[in-house]
Amino acid sequence: MRGLLIHESHDDDGILEVVEFKGVRSLHFGSHPRQSSMLLNDPYKLELNYVRAMTSWLLFKPTFEGDGLIVGLGGGSLTKHLLQHFPASRLKAVEFRKSVVKIARSHFGLPLDPRLKIIVDDGGSYICQRAEAYRDYYSLLFIDAFDHEGMASSICNEAFFDACRVILKKDGILVINLWGGPNNPEYHQVSQWLARAFNWQTLFLPVRDRGNIIAFAFNDYSPMFSLKELRTIAINLEKKYQIEFPAFLKDLKKHNASTFSQVIKT
């Protein structure tokens, strides 16, 4: 890895490294892929393009004032973004590694905020064990649970995605970072489980020049916007957040020819 190593530690799950290169601070789990990145001169800006792509839920949900659940904290980029822009939100983040939580606080500026509760636990088990207790509770559910080997094993099963649907409100949206694309057997299996759990109301957004694919699953979604309205929304969102929403919308339409009509008015 290129750059200056400013932190290195170990826990039961391996090595954690924080590296700075050309004004960007990144978290690594002992391998080249960046688990999280932060611009030192603009710490709240979303540096990684796959994290920006995860904000595309805003195209379909005009506001967020309720409860959100985040599985996989990393350096906390997405969590910071939500805290900054949605002051009426309440967030719960589940992170498997206590060491990651400490580094998010110490090196990536994750704030101590009364709207944020962090739980050190296995995200898959956490959701499955609490599905009935939190039925129809969350407005948004974000899943970004990777280690240096791939997607966390506890979320690679159909029961997990069934539980995700249970804990989401009727108008809730699940946003998940997937890896590897259609030629990856794990991706194909997970996308099938997700689609079945959410009655095929899913959209997939390949991240340009990356191996990531961001999936959006709609719990009980009635199309609110036409494509023309969505284009206007995307332009306005780009102005507000400095994130490339028009490009995301274009790619969503391109890569979901058979299902896009399920989430737009025709």
β-bridge mates for residue 111, sequence order: none
Q: Tell me the percentage of the chain whose pLDDT exceeds 90.
A: 77
Evaluate whether residue 84 is within a structural domain.
Answer: yes
Residue 29 covered by a domain: no
Tally of domains within the chain: 1
pLDDT in tens, 165-181: 999 999 999 999 997 66
199: phi then psi, degrees, rounded to nearest 5:
55, 40
Residue 14 lies in a domain: no
Residue 18 lies in a domain: no
Which residue range(s) make up the domain with 135?
Answer: 48-262
Confidence grade of residue 2 (pLDDT, cut at 50, 70, 90): confident
Global pTM reads: 0.95
Which residue in 36, 82, 53 sits closest to 176, CA to CA? 53
In a domain, 20, yes or no: no
| Residue 25 CB-density burial (10 A; 0-12 exposed, 13-18 middle, 19+ buried) | buried
Q: Does any domain span residue 117?
A: yes
Under 8 Å between Cβ of 189 and 198: no
Q: What is the pLDDT of residues 58-104, one digit of tens each?
A: 999 988 999 999 999 999 999 999 999 999 999 999 999 999 999 99
CATH for 105 = 3.40.50.150
